[in-house]
Structure 1
Amino acid sequence: ELMEKGFIKSMIFITHELPLLYNVTDDIMVMYAGQIVERGTAKEMVFDPIHPYSKGLMGSIIVPEEGTRETKLEAIPGTPPNLKHPPAGCRFAPRCKYAKPECKVYEVPEKEFEEHRMYRCCYEVDYLKEVYGRNG
């Protein structure tokens, strides 16, 4: 209501519950270990996440939607890194089931794709979608 009346122009809402964000925001940025790993509209981020961490978040949350009763939840293995000494390369690589050796060595730059979407991964979007399709 405050936003609708123009008293508030923008808001930062911090949570691990992407489906909740879908209902209260227009855009979502997913952060891991202090870095933005993906940015997109709320609909894109909930229904078509690209970064392996974003995908993992969605796979670890119960979504109370029709037809999700049989959905198997998946935990993200490992623990977050110590940010006093973050890992080299991709900060998510030690926990990522798709990581390759260079992910743990080289800094991963942001990649723009589609309009206003960004992700930070060494893989291309088409490859990640193909892998996600094979793995459910």
Structure 2
Amino acid sequence: MRARYGALAPVDLAPGVPATLVLGYQLAVRILHDVNRFPADPSIWELGVPAECPVRPMMESRPNAIRSAGATHQRHRSPITAALSGVDLHRVHEIVERRAGPLIDGFCVDGRCDVVSQYARPIKAQPPAGAPAMSSTRHARVY
């Protein structure tokens, strides 16, 4: 895609719902930080998307920090920031690397991956640091 389109590739989120996929990391960071041209609030986007669109429910406007902007965003974000202020980010990084690395290594050999079955389900099935593991019987019922 990058060879054909560069850092911005046209995609369809669903039939008749065009979008732009940002392929470059630096450009993605610039876009995510440009709240004036690319606000987090999807209410304007929603105007052009039919109510029956299958991706709309997961992307539509909600009263939370992810889907708001300005003072509303700040109001929703401040309790999250306060709650996470005591988290040791270096420890989190170590735990994520230790858990995600082997999963990623497992599908890197193939050069392809079913993200849900080979990464998302296994990673969320791992217990939080220090918690007991879930039995395989219970894991099968839950996932």
* TM-based fold match above 0.5: no
User: TM-score, normalised on structure 1?
Assistant: 0.25
| Greater fraction of residues in strand | 1
Q: Whose relative contact order is higher, 1 or 2, with alpha carbons under 8 Å and at least 6 apart?
A: 1
TM-score (structure 2 length as normaliser):
0.24
When Rg is computed on C-alpha atoms for both structures, the one with the higher figure is 2
